[in-house]
Amino acid sequence: MEEVREGLFYTKEHEWVKIEDNFATFGITDHAQHALGDVTFVELPKAGAELAQGKMFATIESVKAASDVFAPLSGIVVKVNSDLVNKPESINKSPYGEAWFVAVEIKNEAEKKNLMDAAAYKDYLGGLK
């Protein structure tokens, strides 16, 4: 079954966000990794990059698909998961853990209202089927 983890926030494009104080960590959901299949390549932004909500900030490739990843919130990248670039398959194994993409310093708190909580995301996934 596709896992939706409690305590995280979600987007319609299947990214997740973990918010701690003024910082947010981004990744893609279990649903997204299932849809992509074996992930083979990830391209991440550099630390210091400025991300804008809803705009592409990373790309992922699997054997037969390529997908853009959109920033769930605006902010400045403070940490990049460089291990992910060398081990893209961890996105399939541990989408909510090991396979986080970047951490950002949140720029605009108000944007949080555009995100779904776990319950809302579950409903949203239900509606897609």
Partner 1 sequence: MNFVPHTQADIQEMLKAIGVSSVEDLFKDISPGLRAKSFNLPQGLSELEVVEYCRNLSSLNSSGLKNFLGAGFYQHFIPAAVDELAGRSEFYTAYTPYQPESSQGWLQSIYEYQTAICELTGLDVANASLYDGGTAIFEAAMMALRITGRNKIILDSGVNFIYRSMLYSYTANLNIEFVETQVVHGQSCREEVYKYLDDKTAAIILQNPNFFGAVDDHTDIVEKAHSFGCLVIESVYPISLGMLKTPAEMGVDIAVGEGQSLGLPLSFGGPYLGFMCVKKDFVRKMPGRIVGATLDKEGKRGFVLTLQAREQHIRREKATSNICSNQALCALRAVIYLSLIGKEGLKELAELNYQKSEFAKELLAKIPKVEVKRSSPTFNEFTIVLPKRVDHVIKKMTAKGFIAGFPLGKYYKGMDNYLLVTVTEIKSKDNIVDFAKALEEVLVA
Partner 2 sequence: MQLIFEKSKPGRRAVKLPRLDVPIKTGLAAKYLRRKEADLPQASELDIVRHFTNLSRMNFSVDTNFYPLGSCTMKYNPKFTEKIARMEGFSDIHPLIWQLEAGEKFAQGALEVVYQLERLLSEITGMSAFTTQPLAGAHGELTGVMLIAAYHKAKGNRRKYVIVPDSSHGTNPASAAIAGYEVVVIPSDKNGFMDLEIFKSKLNPDVAAVMLTCPNTLGIFESQIGQICEAAHKVDALVYYDGANLNAILGKARPGDFGFDVVHLNLHKSFGTPHGGGGPGSGPVGVSKKLDEFLPVPRLIKDADGTIKPEFNRPKSIGRIAPFYGNFGVMLRAYAYILFLGKSGLIEVAEAAVLNANYCRVKLKEYFDLPYDRVCMHECVFSATRQKLNGVSALDIAKYLIEKRIHPPTIYFPLIVPEAIMIEPTETESKETLDNFIKVMKEAAAFAISDPQRLKDAPQNTQVSRLDEAKAVRDLDLRWHPL
Q: Which residues in this chain contact partner 1 in the complex, by CB under 8 A?
A: 40-41, 61-66
Q: How many residues does the chain have?
A: 129
Nearer to partner 1 by Cβ, of 9 and 57: the residue is: 57
Residue 87 CA to residue 78 CA, distance in Å, equals 21
Backbone φ, ψ for residue 97 (5° rounding): -110, -100
Q: Do residues 44 and 34 lie in contact, with contact meaning Cβ atoms separated by under 8 Å?
A: no
Nearer to partner 2 by Cβ, of 27 and 88: the residue is: 88
Enclosing H/E stretch for 51: strand 50-51
C-beta of 69: minimal distance to partner 1 in Å?
A: 14
Taking CB within 5 to 8 Å according to partner kind, which of partner 1, partner 2, none is near residue 98?
none
With CB under 8 A as the contact rule, which of the stretches 47-55, 61-69, 72-80, 117-125 interacts with partner 2? Answer: 61-69
